[in-house]
Amino acid sequence: MGDLNPFLRRVQILRWLHNCNGMPSTVKEIIEHLKRERFLEGQSASAQLKTIQRDLVVLSDQKTKDNQLGLEWQKGESNELKWWIEEPGHLDFELTRIAPDDLLTTIQLAKKHLVNVMPPYAYLSLGRYFASAEKQINERLKDKRRNLSRLIDRIHVDQRGQRLLEPRSIREDILNRIFDALEQNKQLQITYNGKAQILHPAGVIIKPPKTYLLAKHAQYLEQGYRSYLIHRIEEATRMTLTSKIPSTFNLKEYVLSGESDTPLFQSTAKIESTATKKIVLKIYLANSGNLFSDLKETPPFSAQKISKIKTEEKGNEEGCEFCLLQFESKLTTQLEEWILGRSTFVEVLEPTSLRQHFTNITKAMAKKYI
């Protein structure tokens, strides 16, 4: 991506003029606004003046006489130019007109990948920007259009691990009602697996290929948050009653802390899964491929610590290299899947309840294969 500073600075100029509601603004006033927004740091007064004058020439298309953004200007006192937008109430910020070429490509890439994760009304509201970016590509980058299409086709986002098929489609009307309830902070009545329920919605969590509604059940508020697969919601209606989700609730912190993960079950009983535990794993490095470098470059656990590589003595046999991976986590199915996915290269040392859990798993697996 090239330097976006000129583009972002010009967007800020347009916003300033738009907010002036048709009243003329001097270049000095524009400069003062940009300085408050920290866009002109490190430049002398003369350099700032030249920069903004150049930006205004570009925005008003003085070279082409096009002026599609609707900027107007006139000379004031001491021949100082004053700038305004004639009809700010009808201004359509087609920012792609002044966007750098590589940003246009980025917008098209966003279009490709956002369609599957954004709520329909939010995605559709961006439609004019996507269309405008495509128009600019067709007009400005005719010679590069085929290459850009090839680039976009050859970038794909893949989920880690076993690829899962998408569940049946989420109904647009249901998703819009969920987002409406979240926006208005209202309760939501749904029909889920044939049962009517009243919920206090807290947010939407996207875990490709599944999308969940996080909410509290009206009859069990004290029991905390529950996850509902949105594609299983058969009906949804926003209610007039206010949701009782605390204003201090932070969805991002909730997810990053592992609260949205599934508690680990052993047979029919939870194995101390509600509290955070100190986890100690022994990582065997021989023939483990990129496991060690992956642990360092893309840490799977927050605040994890990796010990120095050690050698385990085995009598006359060649020693085995290993390290210890330590972190804190709740006992969840996500943790279980990560450990099982590393096969014999990972051994659970602590806590004893988790080690016993894997003892039971390996014994059960051995009966099927040995």
The answer for residues whose C-beta is within 8 angstroms of residue 304's C-beta and 6 or more apart is: 295, 325, 326, 327
What is the domain partition of the chain in residue ranges?
A: 5-93, 101-153, 172-256, 266-369
Distant-in-sequence, close-in-space partners of 13: CB < 8 Å, separation ≥ 6 = 30, 34, 52, 55, 56, 59
% the chain with pLDDT above 70:
81
Residue 366 CB coordination number (10 Å): 9
Measured distance CA(85)–CA(17) in Å, rounded: 6
Is it true that domain 266-369 has CATH number 3.30.70?
Answer: yes
* 172-256 under CATH 2.30.30, yes or no: yes
What is the model's pLDDT at position 14?
84
Name 328's bridge partners. Answer: 278
Indicate the pTM of the whole model. Answer: 0.58
What distance, in Å, lies between the first and last C-alpha atoms of the chain? 55
pLDDT per position as a tens digit, 301-324? 888 999 988 887 765 556 788 999
pLDDT tens, residue by residue, 253-288:
888 877 888 887 654 445 555 678 899 999 999 888
**Is pLDDT of 231 > 70?**
yes
CB 303 within 8 A of CB 245: no
Query: How many angstroms separate the CA atoms of 201 and 205, rounded?
Result: 11
Percent of residues, the chain, with pLDDT higher than 90: 29
pLDDT tens-digit series, residues 47-90: 999 998 888 888 887 555 566 677 888 887 777 788 888 664 44
Mean pLDDT of the residues in the chain: 81
Taking the CB of residue 95, how many other CB atoms lie within 10 A of it? Answer: 18
The Cα-based distances of 66 to 25, 57, 121, 150, 153 in angstroms read 21, 11, 32, 32, 34
126 vs 295: which has the higher pLDDT:
295
CATH fold of 5-93 reads Arc Repressor Mutant, subunit A (1.10.10)
Instruction: Report how far residue 286's alpha carbon sits from residue 192's, in angstroms, rounded to the nearest whole number.
Output: 49
Residue 50: what residue type? K
Average pLDDT on 199-208 reads 88
